[in-house]
């Protein structure tokens, strides 16, 4: 399926190039050629989803570590629909006394929802100053300053040890990059919830799919940190 989709993308890209180089052809080339940006965006998510389900090797982990070392931003902000946020928190089986860390917190919707629904301490980590400011403003409006905090910090430098629940919606490489910290810093019994992307060859305790309000099927992964800190 992926190969056929890629072939279609490249055929349409060729048609698009013809239109750009010769405007007189614009009325003769199918309108579909104008959908190139959308198709290539879809192609990325198809490929990313495929990669996320493949077994990783030690070479893949090393590549993940090196690939993003010099990059300040390792994942863009993509808003998570409210119903998906709710289900992510439900899968984590949050109880009073938990501390939630959201890695790449964006506009703060996950940490805000955790505090409002469960009354727990929640900390978001975000590198984008505009999103940090926006989320802090929302937290103040909601009157949650005593429970929710946003830190302007690179998620690769976060000490995860205070957290008992970690949530994230990142890229596959970013997930791999965080494995060492997750394994070494989180206490036994902690839960890790990732939207859309797995953690290489770590076997999740639970995997769930749901269709969101936009009609997209989302995959949520849950891992529980074992007493041995396992793999």
pLDDT digits (tens, 9 = 90+) for 5-16: 444 544 444 444
Tell me how many domains the chain contains.
Answer: 2
Mean pLDDT on 41-51: 44
Tell me, yes or no, whether 190 lies in a domain.
yes
- Are 85 and 37 contacting, i.e. CB atoms less than 8 angstroms apart? no
Q: What percent of the chain has pLDDT over 90?
A: 64
Is 6 found in the same domain as 112? no
Tell me, yes or no, whether 142 lies in a domain.
yes
* Tens-digit pLDDT profile for residues 113-124: 999 999 999 999
Is 86 found in the same domain as 48? no
* pLDDT reported for residue 228: 55
Distance CA 56, CA 186 (A): 22
Mean pLDDT on 167-185: 96
Helix (H) or strand (E) holding 158: none
Q: What angle in degrees, to the nearest 10, is found between the helix axes of 109-118 and 82-91? A: 60
Could you tell me which residue, 59 or 94, shows the higher pLDDT? 94
**Containing structural domain, residue 42:** 2-52
* pLDDT reported for residue 199: 96
Tell me, yes or no, whether 58 lies in a domain.
no
Mean pLDDT on 128-148: 98
* pLDDT reported for residue 79: 93
Tell me, yes or no, whether 198 lies in a domain.
yes
* Whole-structure pTM value: 0.70
Query: Is residue 177 scored above 60 in pLDDT?
Result: yes
Residues making up the chain, counted from first to last: 231
Residue with tokens 């998510």: 45
* pLDDT reported for residue 58: 42
């Amino acid at each position: 399926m992926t190969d056929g989709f890629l072939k279609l993308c490249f055929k349409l890209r060729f048609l698009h190039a013809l239109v750009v180089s010769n405007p007189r052809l614009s009325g003769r080339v199918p309108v579909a050629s104008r959908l190139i940006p959308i198709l290539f965006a879809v192609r990325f998510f198809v490929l990313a989803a495929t990669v996320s389900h493949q077994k990783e090797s030690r070479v893949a982990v090393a590549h993940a570590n090196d690939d993003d070392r010099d990059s300040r931003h390792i994942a863009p902000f993509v808003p998570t629909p409210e119903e998906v946020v709710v289900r992510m928190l439900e899968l984590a089986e949050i109880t009073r006394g938990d501390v939630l860390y959201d890695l790449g917190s964006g506009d703060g919707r996950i940490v805000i929802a955790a505090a409002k629904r469960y009354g727990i301490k929640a900390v978001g980590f975000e590198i984008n100053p505009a999103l940090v400011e926006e989320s802090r403003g929302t937290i103040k409006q909601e009157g949650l300053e005593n429970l929710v905090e946003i830190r302007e910090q690179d998620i690769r430098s976060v000490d995860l040890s205070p957290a008992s629940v970690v949530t994230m919606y990142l890229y596959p490489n970013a997930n791999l990059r965080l494995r060492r910290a997750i394994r070494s810093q989180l206490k036994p019994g902690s839960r890790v919830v990732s939207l859309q992307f797995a953690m290489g060859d770590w076997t999740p305790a639970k995997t769930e799919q749901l269709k969101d309000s936009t009609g997209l099927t989302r995959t949520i992964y849950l891992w529980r940190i074992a007493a041995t800190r396992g793999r």
